[in-house]
């Protein structure tokens, strides 16, 4: 790593530490990368263009570039026409910056903050991981009553007279009452 890259890396790490936790979580989230990759696939960007796009978004999230300049930065750095750069900037604003903005507003208890959209699974996960006591589960009501326990002993069938202990069944001459063999036709 050359000295310029090392210096830039140190600056980025220092800036990352200064960001609010919501923005740090967004930067480290695989969700942002996944959404940017979907956006790149939708707009048919090559791998190098996608990486340049991701770099521009990260530089904007870290505060090295102004969010208002994102469209022009995408146009110049990613190398796409004006209309594609505008569409990308609009989509990035919706899928990356808007959720961060909403989370910051909730965190700062802004009067116009929208309530977080949480799925049932995520709500259950949060509740389980929290220190709160879980509500008591409702009792399980039986749907079918259990079977009655048997009161009689099982009766064995009488042992065949043709059976002799240790003798293979193929050696028996009489197969009339042997349950494992059929009489020859």
pLDDT digits (tens, 9 = 90+) for 71-117: 888 888 888 888 888 888 888 888 888 877 777 777 776 555 455 56
47 has a pLDDT exceeding 80? yes
Q: Is residue 35 part of a domain?
A: yes
Q: Is residue 43 part of a domain?
A: yes
CB 143 within 8 A of CB 131: no
Q: What distance in Å separates the CA atoms of residue 39 and residue 61, rounded to the nearest whole number? A: 17
Domain range for 106: 11-117
Mean pLDDT score, 135-164: 77
Angle at 33 between CA 81 and CA 75, to 5 degrees: 15
Q: Is residue 36 part of a domain?
A: yes
Q: Is residue 110 part of a domain?
A: yes
Q: Is residue 167 part of a domain?
A: no
DSSP assignment, residue 108?
Answer: T
Per-residue pLDDT tens digits for 119-128: 667 777 776 7
Residue 68's pLDDT is what? 84
Q: What distance in Å separates the CA atoms of residue 40 and residue 88, rounded to the nearest whole number? A: 9
* Total count of domains within the chain: 1
Q: Is residue 16 part of a domain?
A: yes
- Based on its alpha-carbon atoms, the radius of gyration of the chain, rounded to whole angstroms, reads 36
CB 94 within 8 A of CB 42: no
CB 36 within 8 A of CB 96: yes
Residue 145's pLDDT is what? 79
Q: Is residue 83 part of a domain?
A: yes
Q: What is the mean pLDDT of the chain?
A: 77
The pLDDT-based confidence of 51 (bands split at 50, 70, 90) is: confident
1 has a pLDDT exceeding 60? yes
Residue 119's pLDDT is what? 66
Q: Is residue 15 part of a domain?
A: yes
The pLDDT-based confidence of 136 (bands split at 50, 70, 90) is: low
Nearest to 31 by CA among 99, 89, 78: 99
30 has a pLDDT exceeding 80? no
Q: What distance in Å separates the CA atoms of residue 57 and residue 178, rounded to the nearest whole number? A: 83
Q: What distance in Å separates the CA atoms of residue 26 and residue 92, rounded to the nearest whole number? A: 13
């Amino acid at each position: 790593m050359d000295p310029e890259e090392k210096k830039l890396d140190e600056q980025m790490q220092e800036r990352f530490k200064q960001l609010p936790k919501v923005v740090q979580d967004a930067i480290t989230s695989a969700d942002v990368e996944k959404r940017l990759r979907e956006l790149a696939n939708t707009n048919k960007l090559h791998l190098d263009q996608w990486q340049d796009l991701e770099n521009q978004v990260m530089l904007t999230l870290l505060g090295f570039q102004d969010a208002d300049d994102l469209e022009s930065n995408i146009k110049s750095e990613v190398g796409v026409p004006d209309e594609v750069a505008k569409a990308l900037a609009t989509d990035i604003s919706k899928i990356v910056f808007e959720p961060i903005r909403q989370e910051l507003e909730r965190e700062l208890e802004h009067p116009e903050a929208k309530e977080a959209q949480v799925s049932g699974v995520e709500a259950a996960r949060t509740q389980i991981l929290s220190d709160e006591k879980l509500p008591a589960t409702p009792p399980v009501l039986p749907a079918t009553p259990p079977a009655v326990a048997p009161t009689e002993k099982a009766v064995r069938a009488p042992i065949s007279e043709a059976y002799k202990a240790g003798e293979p069944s193929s050696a028996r001459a009489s197969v009339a009452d042997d349950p494992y063999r059929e009489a020859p036709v």
